Amino acid sequence: MSEDKVYAVTKVVGTSKSSIEDAISNAIETAGKTLKNLDWFEVKETRGYIENGKVAWYQVSLEIGFRYEKP
């Protein structure tokens, strides 16, 4: 029988000058330095900033699910 799991969800925002994908990766990699058992993410919002008529920054809001460890 598979073990039941319990998750928590945290909201984070990642940024990147190069791409949406890099903004997502930056958020997940940084969260993974302090949270354990990251299992999934969901992109909730995507934004960007424009400077001189060009994309300057990508900003992505994510919800990341992480699994609690059983004692």
Cα dist. 21→7, 17, 33, 68 in Å? 24, 11, 19, 27
DSSP string, 4-67: P--EEEEEEEEEESS-HHHHHHHHHHHHTTT---EEEEEEEEEEEEEETTEEEEEEEEEEEEEE
pLDDT in tens, 3-61: 788 999 999 999 999 999 999 999 999 999 999 999 999 999 999 999 999 999 999 99
Q: How far apart are CA 54 and CA 14, in angstroms?
A: 19
Expressed as residue numbers, the domain containing 55 is 7-67
pLDDT (0 to 100) of residue 71: 76
pLDDT (0 to 100) of residue 24: 98
pLDDT (0 to 100) of residue 4: 86
What total number of domains does the chain contain?
1
In a domain, 2, yes or no: no
pLDDT (0 to 100) of residue 57: 97
pLDDT (0 to 100) of residue 70: 81
In a domain, 43, yes or no: yes
